[in-house]
Amino acid sequence: MKRIAVYPGTFDPVTNGHIDLIERSLRMFDEVIVAVATNPKKQPLFSLEERVDMLRKSTGDCGSVVIEGFDNLLVDYLRQKKAIAIIRGLRAISDFEYEMQMALMNRRLDSSVETVFMMPSEEYSYLTSTIVKEIATYNGSVAGLVPLIVEERLTKKFGK
């Protein structure tokens, strides 16, 4: 049986930290589905289609990665995809409380769901999509923080 994990998130935009977790997740799972959430509460900078496209272009060499949008309850999505785990990144202690609450709620909704917490590589431990967008807003360089396609799209959005 194929071991499938889901890495959910808004990915607005995808960062090199996200790519790092995707690549490392593939060492543990046969397939990783990157589930891009619509999440209108966050008022994303990029549309769902743009975020999916940037992720697809950024993970082209990652092997068994599937990128798709979703807008339903995560545990229902996992059941639909026959996934056995949720991948979540923990950058700092401040992430832990929220992520633990979500993991426990997901387990309550479906006791077969496991959440796998992964630490980012040191070079990405401070990196968030919010920080990237703020830097880009002020025409700062995001080189090395995001895949090239994201850097190009941010430049286009903010018109350097």
Catalytic (active-site) positions: 18, 42, 91, 129
Strand partners, 34: 7, 67
Burial class of residue 160 in the structure, from the number of CB atoms within 10 Å of its CB (0-12 exposed, 13-18 middle, 19+ buried): exposed
CA distance 11 to 70: 12
Can you tell me whether residue 118 is helix, strand or coil? strand
Give CA separation, 116 vs 7, 85, 94, 100, in Å: 10, 7, 17, 11
d(CA 29, CA 114): 13
32 beta partners = 5, 65
